[in-house]
Structure 1
Amino acid sequence: MASEQYSHGHHASVVGAHAVRTAADSAAYLLPYLEPGMTLLDVGCGPGSITADLANLVDPGPVTGLDQSEDVVAQARKLAAARGLDNAEFAAGNVYDLDFPDAAFDVVHAHQVLQHLADPVAALREMRRVTRPGGIVAVRDADFHGMSWYPELPELSEWMDTYQRIARGNAAQPNAGRRLVSWILEAGFTEFVPSASNWLYATPERRAWFGDGWAQRVLHSAFAAQALERELTDQAGLARMAGGWRRWSQSPDGWFLIPSGEIIAWA
C-alpha cells in the first residue's frame, strides 16, 4: 500500500471529498453488525470521518484508523479530538503488512481501498489475519465502468477513459466493485454476504459540489500529474474535461450514479 502509486493522490479536492463521507452513506451495510465494545480497524481511513462515526457506534470499544499518508492521519487525529472521541487512534501503515498480532480485531473495515491496490487478495488475507475467528472483514469499492451519467457529455467519457488508463497504469483495478466476490473467494473466505449500494448526484446542490470537486481534481490532483506524465492527455485535454464536469454540474437534469459492491465476510 505504502509503496504503490495512489491514482487519486492527496490534493485538497480529494481529501475534502473524503472528509464529508459518513458511516451512514458509505458503510450502511456494516452498521447492523456493530455492537458497543467491539474492537475495530479501519484500513485506508483517510481524514477519518467514517472512522469517527464507527468509533461512536462501538464505543467504548477501541478503534484504530490506518492510512498510508501521514498528512491525512494528522487530519483524522484532529477530527477525533474535535469530536471528543477517546476510543479512536490513528497511525500510518501498510495494508500488506499490518502491524498488529493475529486475531486482534472484531471488525476490519476498508472503504474504497481495494480498487487502488496491485494485490487486493493479499490485502484481504492480511486483513483476515488480524481479525479474530468469527469476526468480520467488511469491504466496499466502487465500479467505475458501472457509473452512469446524463447528459452524456463527451468530456465525461474522455474523463472516464483517462481515469481507467491512469488506474491501470498503477496496476490498480478501477472496476473493483464487481470483483469483490472473486477476490474474497481467492483470499480463502467461505462465509460472506455480498450487497451493493449507490451514491447519486442529481440535485442542484449535490451536482454543484460533485462537479466542482472533480473539475478541481482533473486540473490539480494526481489525476492531472499522472495523465500528463504518461502523455494520456495534455493541458488542453485537462481543461476540456474540467469544463465538461462544470457543464454537467450546471445541467438542470444532470444525473451521476456511482455503484459500489460491498461484502461482509466472516474470518
Structure 2
Amino acid sequence: MSKIASAALMAGFAKTAEAVHTHGHHESVLRSHSWRTAQNSCAYLLSSLTPNMRILDVGCGPGTITADLAKAPEDVLQKARDHAAAQGVTNITYAMDDVLALSFPDNSFDVVHAHQVLQHVPDPILALKEMFPVAKPGGIVAARDTDFEAMTWFPESRGIALWRKTHQQVARSNGGQPDAGRRLLSWALAAGILKAQITATASTWCYSTPEEITWWTSTWADRVLSSEFATSALERGFATQEDLDAMSQGWKTWGSQPDAWFGLLHGEILCRKV
C-alpha cells in the first residue's frame, strides 16, 4: 500500500462561522482549487507520511488534495465526496466543523494539514492553537499558504496589478491576511509552538506552458467578475464594475502573450509535536 493512499481517516472543513472565504465557492473558484493535488500542493509533507496514519485535512475544499493524501459549505463537501468516490477512495470521512473550535479530542491525528486556509481565518494563531492539540504526540501540524504580495508575472499588466491590489483590500476587509505565507512561522511561534519543533520552508507554483496559462487566465478572468470577490469589491467600494472588467480583460490580454509567465510563492510549516 502506498504512503499516500494509506491514510485511515480524513475530515474536511468548510470555512469557520467567523471566517469569510474571499473568493467564495463559485464554479470558477472550484475549477481553480480542483487543480490542486498532494504532489503540487503539499510536497513538503509527503515524505513524512507513513501507512495507516490518521490525517485531518482542514479546509478540504473540493477534496482533490484530501483524496490524494488518502490513496466548506455542504455543496463543496459533496463535491469532495464525489471526487473521492470517482477516485475509488473509501477511507475518507467528511465533516463540517470550526477550525477555531475543533470538536475532535486531543491526540486524535497523526497529521493535521491545512492548505490555503489560514489566510482566510480571522485568528490564524487561534486556529493553530486548535490544530496542535488534536495532533498525536510525535504527530505533525502542516500548513501552506500563498503570499499575494510576492506573486510575480511577465509581461507587466495594469489589469493584473489592479486585481492584486483589490484582492488584498477585499481579503483584509474580510478579516483575512493575503500575505499569510510569510507569516506562518511567526503565527506558529505565537501559538506557543517551540522554534525547535518547526520546520519553515517555501515552494512555488509556476505557470508557463500554453495549457497552464490558458487555464490560469480563464479561472481568474471569470473569478474577478463572478465570484464573491467581485461582489465584495463592488459593495465595499474597492472597485467599480469598470475596474472589474479591466481586471478580467487584463488577465485575458496577458494570457494571450507568448511569453506569459506567472510565479506564486508559498510559505510552509511542519510543526512536530513531541
Q: Normalised by the size of structure 1, how large is the TM-score?
A: 0.94
Kindly provide the amino acid, as one letter, of the partner of residue 79 in structure 1.
Answer: H
- C-alpha distance in structure 2 between counterparts of 1:2 and 1:15, whole Å: 20
Q: 1:45 aligned to 2:51?
A: no
Instruction: Read off the aligned partner of 1:208 and give its amino acid letter.
Output: T
> Is 2:192 aligned against 1:199?
no
Structure 1 equivalent of residue 121 of structure 2: 117
Out of 144, 148, 163, the residue aligned to residue 159 of structure 1 is 163
**In structure 1, distance between residues paired with 2:249 and 2:102:** 41
Number of residues paired by the alignment?
A: 256
Q: Secondary structure at the match of 1:29?
A: helix
Deviations, residues 159-202 of structure 1 (Å, cap 9, x unaligned): 11100100010111000000011001011111111111100011
Q: Name the CA distance, whole Å, in 2 between partners of 1:85 and 1:193.
A: 30
**Unpaired runs of at least 5, structure 2:** 1-15
Secondary structure, counterpart of 2:95 in structure 1: strand
Match for 1:211: what amino acid? T
Residue 239 (structure 1) aligns with: 245
Aligned partners of 2:225 and 2:114: how far apart in 1?
Answer: 28
Residue matched to 1:22: 37
**Rounded Cα–Cα distance in structure 2 between residues aligned with 1:202 and 1:188:** 40
Matched, 1:11 2:17: no
- 1:214 maps to which of 220, 237, 243: 220
CA distance in 2, matches of 1:69, 1:33: 30
User: Secondary structure of 1:88's match?
Assistant: coil
d(CA) in 2 for partners of 1:18, 1:158? 22
Shift of 1:210: 0.2
Amino acid at match of 2:26: H
What is the distance in 1 between the residues matched to 2:103 and 2:218?
A: 38
Distance 1:88 1:138 in 2: 19
Normalized per residue, which structure has more strand?
1
Question: Identity over the aligned pairs, expressed in percent?
Answer: 52
Residue type at the aligned position of 1:8: H
One-letter amino acid matched to 2:57 = D
RMSD of the TM alignment (CA)?
Answer: 0.8
Residue 17 of structure 2 aligns with an amino acid whose one-letter code is A
Contact (CA 8 Å) 2:147, 2:265: kept in 1 or not?
A: yes
8 A Cα contact 2:217 2:251, kept in partner: yes
Whole-Å separation in 1 of the counterparts to 2:112 and 2:230: 32
Q: 2:90 aligns with which of 86, 92, 97?
A: 86
- After the TM superposition, which parts of structure 1 deviate over 2 Å for at least 4 consecutive aligned residues? none
Equivalent-residue separation in structure 2 for 1:117 and 1:86 (angstroms): 29
Q: Which runs of 5+ in 1 are unaligned?
A: 57-67
In the TM superposition, residue 2 of structure 1 has moved relative to its aligned partner by 2.3
Question: 1:32 offset after TM fit, Å?
Answer: 0.2
Query: Within 2, Cα distance between the matches of 1:94 and 1:70?
Result: 14
SS of corresponding position for 1:86: coil
Residue 256 of structure 1 corresponds to 262
| 8 A contact 2:163–2:247 mirrored in 1 | yes
Deviation of the 1:27 alpha carbon: 0.5
Paired position in structure 2 for 1:35: 50
